[in-house]
Amino acid sequence: MNPEIESSKPGSLKEIQAAEAKLLIQTYERNPLLLVSGQGVHLRDEQGNEYLDLLSGIGVCALGYQHPVLTSALQQQSQGLLHTSNLFYHRGTSELALRLTEITGLDRVFFCNTGTEAWEAALKLARAHARRLRSQGRKIGTGILAMEDSFHGRTIGSLATTHKLKYREPFEPVMPGVSFVPFNNVAALRAAFSSEICAIAIEVIQGEGGIHPVSRQFLAAARELCDSTGALLLLDEIQSGMGRTGRWCAYQHYGVQPDVTTLAKPLAGGVPIGAMLCTEEASLAFTPGMHGTTFGGNPLACSLAIAVIDEIKRSRLLDHVASLGEYFLGRLRGLQTSFSCIRAVRGMGLMIGVELESESLARQILQGMMERRIILNRTHETVLRFLPPYILSRQDVDHVLDALSELLATHGNSSTEKTAVMDGEKIHG
Ligand SMILES: *Cc1c(COP(=O)(O)O)cnc(C)c1O
């Protein structure tokens, strides 16, 4: 069919790039790196080069690569079933649900396959919950308040609550009824809230938006407003949850309990899974047949997620993430005092952002890190994002800091005159 691809067997990076350029719908800008294996916190390319991975597949591979508990769970599950459909029982769903309800403080779980799907389920639950309240004579509408600079995924519903115009505009009209509120602006939240609203949607730490934690006052205000009408507080923990910040969920740092939370990325250590959790009361809005999925909660994903949770507990990884995160943030703040091109250092645990003064500097630093075989990425144009595996060590952090300070010394002060405003977008200060 395609002689050029037939004759150049995929193998080398160049061949694969050429094949993908012809065969894949072009939705991604990939790094020119062909990955073949990994061990611990290191990835290996096809030439045998090793990279220190500070991104873990966008916060997914929390236990790193070839972790023995994951390998063993995979082996064990290969003797059992990969899939049953939700028409039958298997042992994994309730075992995982028990663990998830214990660690989140919520009552019930709906399993799905991705973060976006978990968020979509949360939005549907909010609408159905409000409908149930209306049927009981309560006054509550269908509107949803989402945050500026939010990211909740790419389905038409999730996208409607995702702020970035570039993601939303080509697909409009998206789901109606969503208004955006400036993140952490309590007065604006209070002004936008009314009995028309059925849910307030918040990422406890905005990830794609540049690693911005919600403020205590804002989260408390959101909780109070929801309580005043019966609206649901939806907290998206897809990036910040499952131990990333040193607690199982980032909201546990605030002492605020949501009605609904969503988990995904690191939940099964690298296999697709999503989970929407909610209170007993909110769960009553879904009755059999109202929502579902073919793959959600399949035996493979459940057994891996159980292995991830049990290993985080067994190896006390929450404590490790918390203390290593403190150390990492402390060292980055130290760096900030020597380099004025660092505008801000933000984060919790091992979810860390370093905001630089310009997009071009951020690109240069990433390029330099890649040359030093250190993988991280950039979010919100100017923010270096660190989402390393939880098993990262202090020596790894020191190595990263050495590389970063060298690169900032080379590129940092030379680029101070460059512009900090890109694409007319708001830059956080
Ligand atoms: C990644 C992410 C999503 C979407 O998850 P997918 O698995 O890519 O569908 C939603 N919300 C947040 C906060 C995320 O970081």
What integer pLDDT is reported at residue 412 of this predicted model?
84
407 within domain boundaries: yes
Q: How far is the CA of 387 from the centre of ligand 1 (A)?
A: 14
List the one residue out of 267, 268, 294 whose CA is nearest residue 74. Answer: 268
List the one residue out of 213, 219, 118, 202 whose CA is nearest residue 161. Answer: 202
Q: How far is the CA of 77 from the centre of ligand 1 (A)?
A: 26
Indicate the residue among 268, 291, 314 that finishes a domain.
Answer: 314
Q: How far is the CA of 153 from the centre of ligand 1 (A)?
A: 5
| 1 and 146 part of one domain | no
Please tell me the total count of domains within the chain.
3
Q: How far is the CA of 199 from the centre of ligand 1 (A)?
A: 19
Cα torsion 298, 99, 305, 90 to 10°: value is -20
Atom number in ligand 1 closest to CA 272: 7
Please state, in angstroms and rounded to a whole number, the distance separating the CA atoms of residues 12 and 18: 10
Name the β-bridge partners of 375.
53
Which residue owns the Cα nearest ligand 1 atom 8? 115
| 394 and 248 part of one domain | no
| 205 and 269 part of one domain | yes
Atom number in ligand 1 closest to CA 236: 13
| 41 and 105 part of one domain | no
Q: Across residues 195-220, what is the average pLDDT?
A: 98
Residue 4 has pLDDT above 60, yes or no: no
Name the β-bridge partners of 352.
347, 386
103: domain CATH number is 3.40.640.10
* Ligand 1 interacting residues, C-beta cut-off 6 A: 114-116, 119, 151-153, 203, 207, 236, 238-239, 264-265
| 108 and 168 part of one domain | yes
40: domain CATH number is 3.90.1150.10
Residue 335 has pLDDT above 70, yes or no: yes
DSSP conformational letter for 215: P
Indicate the residue among 262, 296, 314 that finishes a domain.
Answer: 314
Tokens linked to 258: 């949501």
Q: Is the dihedral of CA 327, 329, 335, 337 positive or negative?
A: negative
pLDDT digits (tens, 9 = 90+) for 56-65: 999 999 999 9
Q: Across residues 228-257, what is the average pLDDT?
A: 98
Grouping H, G, I as helix, E, B as strand and the rest as coil, residue 342 is: strand
For the chain, give the percent of residues with pLDDT over 70: 94
184 within domain boundaries: yes
Helices 68-78 & 299-314, crossing angle to 10 degrees? 150
Atom number in ligand 1 closest to CA 208: 15
Please state, in angstroms and rounded to a whole number, the distance separating the CA atoms of residues 152 and 187: 23
On whether the CB atoms of residues 111 and 98 are closer than 8 A, the answer is: no
On whether the CB atoms of residues 53 and 39 are closer than 8 A, the answer is: no
Atom number in ligand 1 closest to CA 117: 9
Atom number in ligand 1 closest to CA 154: 9
| 218 and 345 part of one domain | no
| 95 and 170 part of one domain | yes
Q: Across residues 214-239, what is the average pLDDT?
A: 98
Instruction: Identify which of 27, 117, 151 to mutate to test ligand 1's pocket (most ligand atoms within 8 A of the CB).
Output: 151
On whether the CB atoms of residues 349 and 266 are closer than 8 A, the answer is: no
66 within domain boundaries: no
| 378 and 392 part of one domain | yes
What integer pLDDT is reported at residue 346 of this predicted model?
98
Residue 31 has pLDDT above 60, yes or no: yes
Residue 10: pLDDT band with limits 50, 70, 90:
low
| 106 and 239 part of one domain | yes
Indicate the residue among 262, 286, 314 that finishes a domain.
Answer: 314
| 37 and 151 part of one domain | no
List the one residue out of 375, 377, 352 whose CA is nearest residue 363. Answer: 377
Omega before 173 within 30 of 0, i.e. cis: yes
Cα 97 to chain centroid, rounded:
20
Please state, in angstroms and rounded to a whole number, the distance separating the CA atoms of residues 187 and 4: 61
Q: How far is the CA of 69 from the centre of ligand 1 (A)?
A: 25
Which residue owns the Cα nearest ligand 1 atom 5? 115
pLDDT digits (tens, 9 = 90+) for 144-167: 999 999 999 999 999 999 999 999
Residue 428 has pLDDT above 90, yes or no: no
Residue 424: pLDDT band with limits 50, 70, 90:
very low
Grouping H, G, I as helix, E, B as strand and the rest as coil, residue 97 is: helix
| 322 and 333 part of one domain | yes
Question: Domain limits at 2?
Answer: 1-30
Q: Across residues 395-409, what is the average pLDDT?
A: 98
65 within domain boundaries: no
Q: How far is the CA of 338 from the centre of ligand 1 (A)?
A: 34
pLDDT digits (tens, 9 = 90+) for 276-301: 999 999 999 999 999 999 999 999 99
Sole residue written with tokens 């690569």: 65
Tokens linked to 312: 């985080």
CA distances in angstroms from 75 to 215, 300, 313, listed in the order given:
43, 10, 21
pLDDT digits (tens, 9 = 90+) for 97-136: 999 999 999 999 999 999 999 999 999 999 999 999 999 9
Residue 1 has pLDDT above 90, yes or no: no
Residue 11: pLDDT band with limits 50, 70, 90:
confident
| 173 and 265 part of one domain | yes
